[in-house]
């Protein structure tokens, strides 16, 4: 049996980034390295690089998230980027959206253990929760799907004039180019590629920002959203 990889000590940058929540960030890293690996949420090879490649890489997303907004982390998995973002930004109201039970079980345990009162865990697929989850200002995602497919799940969950922030790697520019037509149909009005984490991570974290207009999801989702809203009102009257 292969010996489990050891979690390295937290780098000095982690103390600066997580501040008062540093100890909670350490506990989360330990949970990922132990229960996360045991339950198949992350690979054992990721343990030695948990801090740089995962926790800090996700935490620096906070640099481009507006103050005091609602956030939905689509396909949250083991809580990346949602949990690091929640540790850094207690001003946000964050929903961790994940379809798999074993992952939502882990996420719920983490949220309770770390006392993240501003975080809610919801089990479901993005396309299933429209009308059940209140539209948000910001959708986040990391390593979920290519940008064009991710946008079909994430953009319809946005409020008018909201934005999707997707952590991507070296393929960011290619994906953005390939997704241009799809994004336009989904109501995107502006796209950009941002690099965050100066002095914290090397290489910098790459974020694709997709900003929408007054109709998130475009014409395709307008009727579906209206139907979901009517259904919700009917249920409340009963």
Q: What is the pLDDT of residues 37-92, one digit of tens each?
A: 999 999 999 999 999 999 999 999 999 999 999 999 999 999 999 999 999 999 99
Closest among 98, 88, 85, 112 to 31, alpha carbons compared: 112
What does the pLDDT average to over 170-186? 94
CA distances in angstroms from 14 to 58, 66, 199, listed in the order given: 12, 21, 11
pTM, rounded to two decimals: 0.90
Phi, psi of 61 (to 5 degrees): -60, -25
Q: What is the pLDDT of residues 10-34, one digit of tens each?
A: 999 999 999 999 999 999 999 999 9
The answer, yes or no, to whether residue 199 has pLDDT greater than 70, is: yes
Cα–Cα dist 98/122, whole Å: 7
C-alpha dihedral over 55, 61, 62, 67, to 10 degrees? Answer: -150
The answer, yes or no, to whether residue 195 has pLDDT greater than 70, is: yes
pLDDT at 189: 97
Confidence of residue 1 (pLDDT cuts 50, 70, 90): very low
The answer, yes or no, to whether residue 233 has pLDDT greater than 80, is: no
The answer, yes or no, to whether residue 155 has pLDDT greater than 50, is: yes
Confidence of residue 5 (pLDDT cuts 50, 70, 90): confident
């Amino acid at each position: 049996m292969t010996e489990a990889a050891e979690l390295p000590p937290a780098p000095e940058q982690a103390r600066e980034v997580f501040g008062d929540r540093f100890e909670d960030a350490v506990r989360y890293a330990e949970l990922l390295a132990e229960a996360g690996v045991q339950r198949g949420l992350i690979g054992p090879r990721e343990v030695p690089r948990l801090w740089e490649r995962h926790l800090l890489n996700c935490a620096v997303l906070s640099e481009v998230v507006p103050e005091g907004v609602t956030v939905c982390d689509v396909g949250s998995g083991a809580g990346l980027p949602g949990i690091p973002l929640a540790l850094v930004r207690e001003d946000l109201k964050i929903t961790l959206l994940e379809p798999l039970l074993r992952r939502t079980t882990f996420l719920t345990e983490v949220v309770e253990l770390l006392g993240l009162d501003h975080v809610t865990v919801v089990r479901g697929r993005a396309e299933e929760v429209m009308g059940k989850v209140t539209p948000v200002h910001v959708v986040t995602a990391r390593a979920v799907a290519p940008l064009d497919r991710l946008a079909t799940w994430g953009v319809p969950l946005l409020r008018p004039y909201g934005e999707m922030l997707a952590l991507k790697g070296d393929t960011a520019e290619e994906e953005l180019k390939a997704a241009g037509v799809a994004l336009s149909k989904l109501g995107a009005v502006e796209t950009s590629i941002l690099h965050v984490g100066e002095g914290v991570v090397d290489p910098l974290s790459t974020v694709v920002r997709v900003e929408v207009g007054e109709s998130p999801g475009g014409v395709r989702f307008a009727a579906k959203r209206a139907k979901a809203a009517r259904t919700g009102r009917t249920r409340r009257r009963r």
